[in-house]
Chains A and B, each alone.
Chain A
Amino acid sequence: MDPVPGNPAGASHQGALAGAGPDLGALLRSAARGDTAAFAELYDATSSRLHGLVLRVVRDPAQSEEVTQEVFLEIWRQSARFDPARGSALSWMMTIGHRKAVDRVRSAEAATRRDVAYEQSHQSIEHDVTAEAAHASLEARRVRQALGNLTDVQREAIELAYFGGYTHTEVAALLDLPVGTAKTRIRDGLIRLRDSIGVER
């Protein structure tokens, strides 16, 4: 597996994940200069994907809304730190969103709450009809196909880690894997996912 070459021209990066939508990297650069209108556009272009991820990890709708709010404030604050050479703007934003969602569920109190809220949140997920969602459903089909290329244990390990917010050590325990092997399953699975989704870098 070859290292992925960096791409200094940020605009082209949105191709893989954002499709024909606005240039998220350009919106981030405007936001870094204090352009709130650009940030509103950025929010509208990405909020359902960020929130969808946060909701899957955090599960409790009220807490998820708080986390999504925190995530966008953090994206605003860090907007100048986005580096297009290291990946797409959406990927950078999803990384911030995921980190915050995971940190939230790892606090003990939140962990008990999300179990109570599990059924509720699973019924509340609905797809809207914005352009973002329409594009994301195409994306979702590609992702589902890519997930089909993984072994069961790779897929389970990635889902428990990424959506469950569990550490690789906890994933190993949950899947009855020897300690230290879950991280390998996660990495192998992600590499296969990356290669089969054909993430454009």
Chain B
Amino acid sequence: MNHHQWDDAHALSGAYAVDALDAEERARFESHLENCQHCRDEVDGLRDAAAALGSSQPTEPPSSVRDAVLAGITGIRPLPPVTAEPVPVPDTPPSPAADLSARRRLRQLRRVPLLVAAAVILIATAGLAVWSPWSAPDDEKVHLSVTERVLTADDAARVEAAFDDGSRATVVISRSVGRAVILTEDMAQPPDGRVYALWLQSPAGVMVPAGLMPDDPDATVPLDGDASRATAVGITIEPDGGSPEPTSEPIAVFPLEA
């Protein structure tokens, strides 16, 4: 990873710690966090500072809130603790020693799904008489972009790849939204006259064109086409303008679990 890019990503730690990133930047930075211990430590420290700032004007909520909370928790099962479980990261399996960084990495990978509930709830309008905290009607999400809908979907799943030159790409797919998004970090530019082409592999094994990557090492791109049944996402190098079918071996394949 070159120094300039690292600085760029790193500079977002403060804005991330105070939730001052939009949904896309947040997803990108969380991708970066998975691989940057320095940023994780910094974010933790800055969140402590922000928490101190936020504690400076306490206001007791009405007792009705306490009653509602204590009644509400009886109907909610606390999530289990995070333990090691298979996560599709083909390039960097967690070490057998399950060291701290590996566990953090697992946590980071799982953060997007964990935050989904928050994103969904808060899109729901206030003042609903019967209030269902962990779900919202789908039509609440209509105004979101494809990228936002995929990244915040309940079933969003991530598949990552790292390349020898340090660049990284992550595919996020939501079967329920029926779309996939690719996020790249520090992608080297394709050779002159060439372009990175995206493909969705159909259940029959056919590579269907899903668009071209822009000339941007750090891009967030929704793939064209229906991804609800796709079995993989591929990247190939094609002549400018793309090709109706791949003309070269893929430089990356992201297998998608059914």
Contacts and interface: CB of A to CB of B under 8 A. Distances in A.
A90 B14 contact: no
B76 A102 contact: no
A14 to B, nearest CB: 12
Contacts of A27: none
Contacts of B45: 4, 87, 194, 199, 201
B57 A3 contact: no
Nearest to B57: A52
A190 B11 contact: no
Contacts of A194: 45-46, 48-49
Given A78-B114, A183-B12, A158 B58 contact: no
Q: How large is the interface on B (under 10, 10 to 19, 20 to 34, 35 or more residues)?
A: 35 or more
B18 A88 contact: no
Interface string B54-67: 11111111101110
Interface in A8-39: 16-17, 31-34, 36, 39
A171 B46 contact: no
A187 B46 contact: yes
Interface residues on A, range: 35 or more
Interface of B is mostly: helix
A127 B21 CA distance: 31
Given A81-B79, A187-B13, A194-B46, A49 B21 contact: no
Nearest to B103: A83
A173 interface: no
A169 B74 CA distance: 41
A139 B121 contact: no
A99 B50 CA distance: 12
Interface stretch (B36-44, B90-98, B169-177): B36-44
By CB atoms of chain B within 10 A, which of A51, A147, A194 has the most? Answer: A194
Interface of B: 11-15, 17-22, 25, 37-38, 40-42, 44-62, 64-66, 68-70, 72-74, 76-82, 100, 107, 114-115, 117-119, 121-123, 125-127, 131, 133
